[in-house]
Structure 1
Amino acid sequence: MKNNKLLMIMLMMLIAITLVGAIALVIVMKFSGDDEAKEPTIDEVLEASVDIPQITANLASDDYIRISFKIQTENKKAKEELEKRDFQVKNLIIQELSEMKAEDIQGKEGQVKLQEDLKNKINGLMQEGKIVQVYITESLLQ
């Protein structure tokens, strides 16, 4: 009889611990999910963005391009790092453009591919954060 009572107490404690753990998990998942799903406001985007002024580069097809970018980072620390690495970013952009032909950059698909390639390569440089998006703000192909 004493063993049955002890077994019931242990079973009740196990159920109580499981319920508390499940409730804690639901609460943590609920609050952490809202932060990630929330899109940043335009002010937050601008605060975490860096302008890359106009760059002129020769393309592989003997054409040239004048192009400017705005690069959005994930936070202010990443922005500060990106501002310090501006010479490396410009170098990457020039190298990337020098291997492209005019046909590669023309049209939406070419521009989106250039943005994605630059995002990935710049993220390879970053240590304090990451690049969220690369925007082309000006482009003149001649």
Structure 2
Amino acid sequence: MSKLVKIMLTSLTVLLIIGISAFVVVQYINTDEKSGEAASIDEMKEYSYETPEITTDLQDGSFVRIQFQIIADSKDAKEEIEKRDFQLKNILIKELATMKEKNFQSGLEDLENEVKSKLNEVMTTGKITDVYTINKILQ
């Protein structure tokens, strides 16, 4: 091989390595900037879905009327959760049917986390970031 071909191959290899390294660094920086930030209140409002009120019985025979505000991470995820309304109601009824009245005195955070987890299992576009209880009446 001539000296010119060796120099060209070495130069191309070095440029390729530099290009790949720059691409990886740019991608890493962009994902880190977004992942550490909390969503602004405007984004939360834009990507939120308010469930209809659900009335169901509890394990101990009492009744609860409850409503949630579900926050997604994108517009597409919000649209998906709106379409999955029937699955959301099913998840809520199943979770509430295993609870007792005393769980509602201190265990709402556990219910919110469980609903969030179950919804994320069925989501295909985006994910649920938060679930808030916005209305609760125990009878």
TM-score (norm 1): 0.79
Instruction: Return the match for 1:130 from 107, 127, 135.
Output: 127
Relative distance call for 1:127 and 1:29 in structure 2 (3 A) is closer
> 1:51 — aligned with what?
50
- Residue 83 of structure 1 corresponds to 82
- Per the alignment, do residues 18 and 86 of structure 1 end up closer, same or farther by CA in structure 2, a change over 3 Å counting? closer
Give the Cα–Cα distance (whole angstroms) in 1 for the partners of residues 127 and 35 of structure 2.
Answer: 15
Secondary structure in 2 aligned to 1:77?
Answer: helix
Cα-Cα RMSD: 2.6
Q: Please state whether the residue corresponding to 2:102 is helix, strand or coil.
A: helix
Task: Give TM-score scaled by structure 2 length.
Answer: 0.80
Q: 1:139 aligns with which of 117, 136, 139?
A: 136
Deviations 1:49-103 (A, max 9, x none): 1100211110001111111100111111111111011122112101110111111
- Measured after TM superposition, the shift of residue 22 of structure 1 is 5.7
**Which residues of 2 match residues 1-142 of structure 1 at below 5 A?**
25-107=24-106, 110-142=107-139
Number of equivalenced pairs: 139
**Distance in 1 (alpha carbons) for counterparts of 2:125 and 2:21:** 34
Deviation string, structure 1 residues 4-43 (Cα, Å, up to 9, x no partner) = xxxxxxx9x9989877766665444333311221222111
From the superposition, tell whether residues 24 and 54 of structure 1 become closer, same or farther in structure 2 (CA, over 3 Å): closer
Letter in 2 for 1:38: E
Q: CA deviation at 1:46?
A: 1.1
